[in-house]
Amino acid sequence: MESLQKEHDRLLNKSNLSKPLTSIDKILSALTTARAQISSDPTSTAATAITLAKLQNQINPIVAHLNDDQKEIHSALTKYGKALDKKFKTAASASTDYEPLNGDRESGLISRAIAMHLIREGSFDVASMFFQEAEEKGEMLDIEDGLTREFRDLYEILDAMKVRRDLGPAIQWARNKATLLDARGSNLEFELCRLQYIWYFMGGEIGGVGNKRALEYARREFGRFQDKYLPEIEKLITAFAFLPTIHSSPYAPLFSDPERMWTDVSRSFTKEFCSLLGLSAESPLYIAATAGAIALPTLLKMTSIRKEKNTAWSSVNELPVEIPLPPRYQFHSIFVCPVSKDQTTETNPPMMLPCGHVIAQDSLHRLAKGGSQVTLKCPYCPKESTAAQAKRVYL
Ligand SMILES: [Zn+2]
């Protein structure tokens, strides 16, 4: 892995395109000047010839430079490619089993996922180019018109927080959407105002502890949150009593890491903003690609074992191995039947017996061989019931 890292670093160093770009700019300006000179006196062939000769003299060395720069990048890229091939001997072939991947342009699902990802990441220029190209290819992306504008707003608000440490636009947005946020049980507005208070308290951009602005802010803004967040507000205000020794006081944790608070609040903001648009907080394409990258080594190993042992895996929707993903990548609760050890599905859902024990529907049917009215004993306690009394559990 070390050699790979080395080649990657080298590529990163070499792939600086600023030199070629400067060269191209120089060529462009030489061409523009020459064109202006020629068009100012288009009848004089002698003058034109001189201008062209000069132009050639000017441009030739720049082009030579450009080629050299390109060679450097190209060789670094080739070396990196070779290092990759050496490290990862098994080629992961792209699956074409799935409809979105089999090149069906009409559905455009993959393109849609990419376009959505670009918008969500704030790469609006790239996204608009992508849209244009997709349109030329006749792909249907089916993305709402207003979505780019919404995300532009989001990035403006996040930028204000990140660059200027200005919570104003974020608080304004949260206030405008207060009803919707409340309905979701979100405490975003309070979270934002609390950070504003803490930022003032810490002296914010002015420096020094215990800014008077914090107290004024609390008086002006915290009233509206009293019903819901009184204990929290009390803590924030009482901290004033410990002003000179705040970092050794019981209130120290409230003020210990303002940088992290900014990151956390930005994340909460993004999450709530996306959820009001009906979107997840993180780009699904990013999650899918990351989860795929985590799973790839296991999948490759599985493929090679299958080839070696010549075994086939018949279950289409399930992998024969478990691939543990980090907790934040787990979105659905699953239920595994304690009797059959099968994971429950839509067609074989979990069923709860009157005693409260849950087993899969197939297991229940097996227990109640004679039909839904036959008395069966729960596999986990002495209680008896019938299959008809079992209720489906929705996860
Ligand atoms: Zn039971």
Mean pLDDT of the chain: 85
Distance between Cα 11 and ligand 1 center (Å) = 63
Minimum mean pLDDT range among 21-25, 59-63, 185-189, 209-213: 209-213
Distance between Cα 378 and ligand 1 center (Å) = 5
Instruction: Kindly report the number of other CB atoms within 10 A of residue 195's CB atom.
Output: 22
Specify the pairing of strand 391-392 against strand 384-386: unpaired
Question: Strand, coil or helix: what is 133?
Answer: helix
Distance between Cα 379 and ligand 1 center (Å) = 6
Tens of pLDDT, residues 237-292: 888 888 778 888 888 888 888 889 999 999 999 999 999 998 988 888 999 899 98
User: Average pLDDT, stretch 10-39?
Assistant: 85
Q: Which pLDDT belongs to residue 363? A: 92
Distance between Cα 380 and ligand 1 center (Å) = 5
Specify the pairing of strand 384-386 against strand 375-377: antiparallel
pLDDT band at 171 (very low <50, low <70, confident <90, very high): very high
Minimum mean pLDDT range among 73-77, 284-288, 347-351: 73-77
Distance between Cα 389 and ligand 1 center (Å) = 13
Neighbours of ion ligand 1 (CB under 5 A): 355, 357, 378, 380-381, 383
Distance between Cα 366 and ligand 1 center (Å) = 16
Q: Which pLDDT belongs to residue 180? A: 92
User: Average pLDDT, stretch 206-234?
Assistant: 82
Distance between Cα 129 and ligand 1 center (Å) = 60
The single residue listed with the structure tokens 């180019």 is 129
Residue 153 reports pLDDT greater than 90:
yes
**Greater model confidence, 369 or 177:** 177
The answer to whether the beta carbons of residues 126 and 132 sit under 8 Å apart is no
What is the helix, strand, coil percentage profile of the chain, to 5? 65, 5, 30
Instruction: Kindly report the number of other CB atoms within 10 A of residue 280's CB atom.
Output: 13
Distance between Cα 330 and ligand 1 center (Å) = 29
Specify the pairing of strand 375-377 against strand 358-360: unpaired
* Range with the largest mean pLDDT of 210-219, 247-256, 351-360, 361-370: 351-360
Q: What is the largest CA-CA distance in the chain?
A: 109
d(CA 85, CA 76): 14
Distance between Cα 368 and ligand 1 center (Å) = 14
Distance between Cα 347 and ligand 1 center (Å) = 23
Tens of pLDDT, residues 81-110: 888 888 776 665 555 455 555 555 556 778
Q: Which pLDDT belongs to residue 67? A: 86
